[in-house]
């Protein structure tokens, strides 16, 4: 009798282990079927539209002109692509830093001109910092626009879905020509 109880312990332990594993698997969400009868193509970004950059540098989404470049955040957020979001946030940061740096000389001139007993700022210093601020502003806008264009190009490339086509065309000598094409469509 004692020997029979020792033989049952590994069997009971195996049963408990199988029961625990099956109960853990039962709590997981069902895995979608991938056979041909139930295959559904992944159309997660079907509602998104391509972004078009006009010749005037304006952005168009779905045929409508966007008010500013920050309006691109909505389609970029819908796609939720890390590379697109990285370029977009980098463009926003560069533009904000450029604006702050451009405003610093003006604040400096206001502070030094109002100081009691101070002579103010010389003309040479004024013009150097004035044109320096304009240069920083223009450069930061150019770099930010380049980052934004890169984000738009990546967005559009990820948005396109590959489409496979097969064609059969009759030839004049009673033969048939077969063709296969692959292209990306929006």
List pLDDT tens digits, range 111-150.
777 655 556 677 888 888 889 999 999 999 999 999 999 9
pTM here is 0.61
Q: Would 117 be classed as within a structural domain? A: yes
Looking at residue 36, its pLDDT comes to: 42
pLDDT of 6-33, one tens digit each? 567 777 878 787 777 776 666 666 555 4
Q: Would 142 be classed as within a structural domain? A: yes
Looking at residue 183, its pLDDT comes to: 64
How many domains are contained in the chain? 1
Q: Would 182 be classed as within a structural domain? A: no
Find the domain containing 115 and state its range: 40-159
Q: Would 136 be classed as within a structural domain? A: yes
Q: Would 31 be classed as within a structural domain? A: no
- pLDDT of residue 89 exceeding 50, the answer is yes
- pLDDT of residue 156 exceeding 70, the answer is yes
Q: Quick one: tokens of 19?
A: 């029961």
Q: Would 173 be classed as within a structural domain? A: no
Q: Would 1 be classed as within a structural domain? A: no
In Å, what is the CA distance from 15 to each residue of 26, 157, 181? 16, 52, 55
Looking at residue 39, its pLDDT comes to: 40
Looking at residue 48, its pLDDT comes to: 83
Looking at residue 182, its pLDDT comes to: 65
> Among the residues of 27-176, which ranges form H helices?
73-79, 82-113, 123-159
Give the separation between CA 64 and CA 48, rounded to whole angstroms.
14
69 neighbors 148 (Cβ within 8 angstroms):
yes
pLDDT of 31-87, one tens digit each? 554 444 444 445 556 678 888 888 888 899 888 888 888 888 888 888 888 899 999
Q: Would 8 be classed as within a structural domain? A: no
77 neighbors 71 (Cβ within 8 angstroms):
no
């Amino acid at each position: 009798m004692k020997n029979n109880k020792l033989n049952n312990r590994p069997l009971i332990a195996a049963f408990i282990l199988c029961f625990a594993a099956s109960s853990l698997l039962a709590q997981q969400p069902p895995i979608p079927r991938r056979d041909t009868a139930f295959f559904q193509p992944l159309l997660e970004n079907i509602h998104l539209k391509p972004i078009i950059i006009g010749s005037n540098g304006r952005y168009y989404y779905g045929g409508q002109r966007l008010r500013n470049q920050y309006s691109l955040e909505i389609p970029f957020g819908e796609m939720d692509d890390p590379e697109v979001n990285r370029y977009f946030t980098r463009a926003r940061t560069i533009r904000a830093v450029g604006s702050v740096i451009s405003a610093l000389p003006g604040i400096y001139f206001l502070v030094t001109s109002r100081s009691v007993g101070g002579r103010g700022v010389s003309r040479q210093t004024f013009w150097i910092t004035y044109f320096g601020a304009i240069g920083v502003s223009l450069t930061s806008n150019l770099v930010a626009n380049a980052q934004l264009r890169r984000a738009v190009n990546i967005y559009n490339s990820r948005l396109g879905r590959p489409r496979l086509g097969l064609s059969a065309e009759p030839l004049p000598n009673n033969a048939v020509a077969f063709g296969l094409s692959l292209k990306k469509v929006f």
